[in-house]
């Protein structure tokens, strides 16, 4: 399992718009081949902080996500809403173990 945890901080006045844009990306991402999870979390302490938990079967599946129309639209839509550049950390998912 190929997992990326993405951290994003948005401008205060763009928080609601960001959540709406993320909802659309989330719904389409769940339909992608190889997608296992696509969770979006908002901090309880600071509503401008978000975490994305993206789990794909393979690295190639995750790379394909970044070529989809919905991802590209989301990326371009939210680019100016970031308070700082978003960043992702890649992990190898261990458990649950995937069976082929």
Residue with the two structure tokens 């970044």: 66
Q: Which domains does the chain have, with CATH numbers?
A: 2-92 (3.30.70.100)
pTM value is 0.93
Q: How far apart are CA 44 and CA 12, in angstroms?
A: 14
DSSP string, 22-53: HHHHHHHHTTSTTEEEEEEEE-SS-TTEEEEE
SS3 69: helix
SS3 97: coil
Encode pLDDT of 17-69 as tens digits.
Answer: 999 999 999 999 999 999 999 999 999 999 999 999 999 999 999 999 999 99
Looking at residue 63, its pLDDT comes to: 97
pLDDT beyond 70 at 100: no
Q: How far apart are CA 30 and CA 38, in angstroms?
A: 6
What is the average pLDDT across 72-80? 97
Looking at residue 97, its pLDDT comes to: 83
């Amino acid at each position: 399992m190929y997992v990326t945890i993405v951290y994003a901080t948005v401008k205060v006045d763009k928080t609601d718009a960001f959540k709406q844009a993320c909802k659309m990306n989330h719904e389409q991402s769940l339909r992608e081949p190889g997608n296992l999870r696509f969770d979006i979390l908002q901090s309880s302490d600071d509503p401008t902080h978000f975490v994305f938990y993206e789990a794909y079967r393979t690295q190639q599946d995750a790379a394909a996500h970044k070529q989809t129309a919905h991802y590209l639209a989301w990326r371009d839509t939210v680019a100016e809403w970031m308070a700082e550049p978003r960043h992702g950390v890649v992990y190898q998912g261990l458990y649950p173990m995937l069976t082929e």
